Amino acid sequence: MGVSTVTQQQSNHQPSAAVAAFLRRPKQLWIDGTWVDSVSGRAIEVYDPATGRQIDSVQAGVAADVDRAVAAASAAFESAAWRGLRPADREALLWRLSDLVARDADILAELESLDNGKPVGLARMVDVNGAVEYLRYMAGWATKIHGRVIHPSFAGLPGAEITVNAVRDPVGVVGQIVPWNFPLLMAVWKLAPALAAGCTCVLKPAEQTSLTALYLAELVAEAGFPAGVVNVVTGLGHEAGAALVAHPDVAKIAFTGSTEVGKIIGRGCMDTMKRVSLELGGKSPVIVCADADLDKAIPGAAMAIFFNAGQVCTAGSRLYVDAKIYEPFMAGIAAFASGIKVGPGWAPDTQMGPLVSAEQQARVLSYIEIGKAEGGELLVGGEAQGDEGYFVKPTILANVNPAMRVVREEIFGPVVVAQKFATIDEAVKLANTSDYGLGASVWSEGLSTAHRIASRLQAGSVWVNCHNAIDPAVPFGGFKQSGLGREHGEEAINLHTEPKSIWYAV
């Protein structure tokens, strides 16, 4: 097992004709419905994480490019071509876009796998199908945004009959800054509610993984969205991203990424009082009770962390196991982890791909060293795999304690830290001892035990006997330093609309 056995094939692997053709095309910025060059003249290299070899490059958009994109988005926001559309027309456009993403699902999945490293089957099932379903769910909201009528008790206008229409206006131009772990899906999570609400968009993909966002830009045009409604500016966070945050004509920033950058963005937004939603990091606990069904809990807890190589904001990266079952549980999860097939994304039997970048691989490996130095006991993994690409083996560090950095800090890789607990109170206390509060799971066959724990956990999503279940209809976001605001469902529409009260005195 392992990449060393497929290195030769890896080097020889050829992308499909459609993906090869896309890669050959020079990449530009998508502004006002057309491809344009960045004024910077600089490129960002794009690497295949399975080989470390360069496969493409994208342009490094800068503030002047963001100015152009925001101007296009502002003009589109005011245009009859967009503002004049009926809600049902926006719904139809979003459906058409979902159909185009579905039509090109194989291309998008292959491209995502090549760019990010994830297994192509996972990209197809989770990223691309997830994007299609998200667009379709949000399409339905376009026709369901409405206000309410209030009859106030206001006495300041004697003789007048007063009615208030409390409505929701689209917020305006939305700047969308997304990370590299689910590049297409994160872009769609940002674009779909904004478009359903009637906003216009400037999207900045992650520097490591911009390819599917550029592919999507043309699908947006093919679907029939007017020029300027969606713009894509590739570039670096501290250049293109920061310019979006600072731009006075951007009404709202929607961000997913690290808590560290989220704080910078949140502060930046206050300068012009931008609306801001932040989906940030996590250190999500997985609590395995003594009455858990181990046949479900062992693979469940393993995939809670190893899915997408642990590069998931809700990854179940802290494992708390009842002392009564600690030994058999840890033996089971260690066996599961060492059986995970790690390899290049294109190989059909790959279960876990490489990490996204050399930087991320180095970061994760350094956390493993920190964990060992802090006294964590390495059960499996703990090292890179193969001699090329950014692979890290599934890793379990046991006997940790809450003071350790590997327990407190987000690693964002295939590394889980584990410790036992004696009582439910202790499990809840350990789980809640974190600056983060994004996800959590509880594994128990007892409904009342599971419910009692779930109701005490400080997390935006709590899963019982499952982990990482996500749906466009279900609010998603974090407690504490895991973020601000909730995406998905009606909450996502609320993030993109501005409440307005219109008073009528007649």
Residues designated catalytic:
279, 313
Per CB under 6 A, the list member of 261, 355, 397, 442 interacting with ligand NAP is 261
Burial class (CB in 10 A: 0-12, 13-18, 19+), 158: exposed
Interaction between residue 280 and ligand NAP (CB under 6 A)? yes
Task: Find the binder of ligand NAP among 27, 136, 168, 204 (CB under 6 A).
Answer: 204
Encoded tokens for 356: 């996204």
Give the number of other Cβ atoms within 10 Å of residue 78's Cβ: 11
Residue 115 engages ligand NAP in binding (rule: CB under 6 A)? no
Q: Are 174 and 253 in contact (CB under 8 A)?
A: yes
Specify the residue, 171 or 261, whose C-beta has the smaller distance to ligand NAP: 261
Reduced to 3 states (helix: H, G, I; strand: E, B; else coil), residue 369 is: helix
42 or 363: whose CB is closer to ligand NAP? 363
Which is closer to ligand NAP, CB of 345 or CB of 483?
483
Stretch that binds ligand NAP, among 15-23, 149-157, 241-249, 302-310 (CB under 6 A): 241-249
Q: What is the DSSP letter of 438?
A: S
List phi, psi (to 5°) of 156: -80, -5
CB closer to ligand NAP, 30 vs 326: 30
* Structure tokens that stand for 411 in this block: 């690693």
Question: Which stretch in 7-15, 259-267, 284-292, 371-379 sits in contact with ligand NAP by CB under 6 A?
Answer: 259-267
Could you give phi then psi for residue 497, rounded to 5 degrees? Answer: -130, 150
Q: Does 407 bind ligand NAP (CB under 6 A)?
A: no
Query: Is residue 245 part of the contact set for ligand NAP (CB under 6 A)?
Result: yes
Q: Which of 115, 127, 410, 487 binds ligand NAP (CB under 6 A)?
A: 410
Which is nearest to 407 in space by CA: 321, 224, 283? 283
Query: Per-residue DSSP letters for 161-196?
Result: -EEEEEEEEE--EEEEE--SSSHHHHHHHHHHHHHH
**Residue 178 phi/psi, 5° resolution?**
-125, 160
Position 232 contacts ligand NAP (CB under 6 A): no
DSSP string, 47-89: EETTTTEEEEEEE-B-HHHHHHHHHHHHHHHH-HHHHTS-HHH
Q: How far is the CB of 180 from ligand NAP (least distance, A)?
A: 6
Enter the DSSP assignment of 413: S
Q: Mask of contacts with ligand NAP, 281-320, x by CB under 6 A? A: x-------------------------------x-------
Q: 117, 257, 376, 394: which one contacts ligand NAP (CB under 6 A)?
A: 257
Asked whether 38 and 58 are in contact (CB, 8 A), the reply is no
Instruction: Note whether 238 binds ligand NAP by CB under 6 A.
Output: yes
State the residues that interact with ligand NAP by CB under 6 A: 177-181, 204, 206-207, 236-238, 241-242, 245, 256-258, 261, 264-265, 280-281, 313, 363, 410, 412
